[in-house]
Structure 1
Amino acid sequence: MSQSQSHAHRSSISQHSRSVSHFINDADELTDVELIRQVNDLKHQVKILTLENEIFERTIIRLEPALMHGIQQALDYANKLQSNSSLTVGSFVKSQTSRIGVLESLMSPSRMLTSPSRVSTRRVDSSGKLGGTVIFGTGPRINVLERSELVSAEMEILISNLERARYKASKQHALLKAQLEEIGVRVNDIEKASGSFNAQVLIEGWDKIAQRIPAEIWIRFMTEWMKIADSQIGKLRLRTSTLNTQFSKLKGQIKIKAELSESLRAIDFDKLKIENNECIEIIEKKLQQLGELKKMTGDANLNLAIHKKAMMEQNTYLTNIMNSIKTKEKLTAELDKERDRIQVQADILDQKLEEVKKIRQAYEVPDIMDYVCVKSEVTDLKHGIKLLENRLHIQQIALSSLNKKLHLMYVKT
């Protein structure tokens, strides 16, 4: 530590002590808000000093535990002072400052090799009064950079301890988990064996006539159970042997890698670096070729998409043509059927036409007087039919009236 840094640190401590003394002298002149703010600042400084003390104590214990004897005497002395007298805020801050000064003086490079006997204190007499002041050795103080280095070292140690504890906890957790799984498997096997024993021996094997369980059933159940257990043991042995083989193989690989790591030299790393550079160049060339291939593939895909689109259009046009052909074929078949029907009708009409022609050729027009006579006879016959229908209707009415009268006479009688 340089002389300028130690001087700056001492000046900061002296300024802090002067500010504290000034705060004690002017405490009566402060308002409540300012007093609360000052108290909170002092509490915050006390917390910071407490953390620094913890870091320094851990560092001293880790590097030179013998130096903690004097520190322990100073702490005991401060505890006695705190328990035997009511100190003010300024004296408490001064005691914390003196404690930090002790730790810093002990943690300085010039004091790390000193003996605890050099740290001298004055005893407290039996009445509990202060018998004197604490006198510590002087030396260079610890600056901010050294404090940060101490904090970083302690943090690294705590992180390594935490990682080690976490690793041990994970191993213990895995072991406990495996034990729980093993216990669960055993419980399931015991429950299955107990259930099968109760079902096959106690329930199904009970002889109602003899009121007992025959020995044959018991022996057969035990024999089958032993066979099943032997088969399971064989499977487990095979699995265990496989796992042992894999474990020995992995152990050999780890050993070979450790031997290779021990036999490696700087030239091997240089060689590996050169090979890696060559491989990187080859990979870059391959990547360039891959980029060109991707570009070619993109062009080919574009052409393929264009031709595929054209082919799809051609296929659509062909499908429409095929559908129209099928439609036209169906229409042609229907037209052929309709032509056949029309041809048949035309043949029938030709026959009828021929018959009509024959009838027309053979037909002779009758005389007009004969037609008039026939027409008058037809008119007379229609008039006679009309008269007969009227007479029939009248007779039906008379018959219905007679039936009603007969019905009434039958009802009265």
Structure 2
Amino acid sequence: ESDPELSGDAAGEDMFGEDDYGEEEEEEDPGVDRMQELSEKYDQLLELNERALQHNVALQRRVIQRRAQDKAYDAPDKQSEGKVTEHKYQNILQSVHTVRLQLRLQQVKAARMSEELKNQLETKRQKAIECRDSFQEFKRQVARHAEYARTGKKISEKIIQEIEEFEMDKDAEVEEVRGSNISLKNRLAKKEQELRKKDELAENLHVIDFEQLKIENQTLNERIEERNEELHKLRKKTVTTVQIVTHMREKVQFVQQDYQSLKAELSQLDADLAGQRDLVANTKHDRDQHRADSTKLRQQTSIMNSDHLAKDFASRTDHIKQLKEDINQFKKRHKQMTQFVKGHGGTI
């Protein structure tokens, strides 16, 4: 294990180195952003210079065309219009001269500004490189003197080199991201300016849009009223339909009750019919049995083959009926006579 005093000194050196690195980064960031802005301004000035050159060429072409047109006119026309064209030509030449002077001034300013920016960029770059190299050397020395807490071994040069390469890659990525951030900010500013122009152009169209929206709103209100009327009709139809459905449900319940009662009555009638059918079947069976017995008896007595016996049987039955009637008459007369005797207080 390492000495605690040495480890404490190393920790103090690490803390001091980190603070210095943070200060260097804070000083380096504004310089890099400033250089990016100045380079973009330089590009804008170059674009302005190119536009001025194009405008100058266009003016020269117009002058040449005008002079060619003047030559095509007749002599008196040339004399009468010579003063006017010459005056215009002088004005154009003067404007071209002023534009050229402005262009030269802008070029001089741009060149001076570019030189100043280049000088500032070089100084800042040299300072940043020196600070970076000194800081890397400081970190390298601290890493070389550092030791592992458990083993007490020093960090190898290979690991230190890998860490330095990793930091350099990350610094390059940070610079690239900063440049892309600045370009995106500029694009955002341009887009915002374009949106402002579009808003200014759209202000004149607000009145037309408002009138159109009023017309659309009126048509939509009419449609809403029509839909409300249709909805009211549908609600009425729904109410009547619900009433009809409730009435039909009640009627169905009543019909079901009647059906159940009729079904019970039908089952009772079916049971009675089955009993009557059984009774009829038994009666028919008894009748057939009696017929068979009667036929047997008639065959045994041979009454069917004797007319005399049949006549005698018929006469006897008639005589028996006559005797029964006489007996009944005698009984009635006896009863009357007994009542008469009892009514007069006598005895038989």
Normalising by structure 2, report the TM-score.
0.32
Higher helix share: 2
Larger radius of gyration: 2
For normalisation by structure 1, the TM-score amounts to 0.28
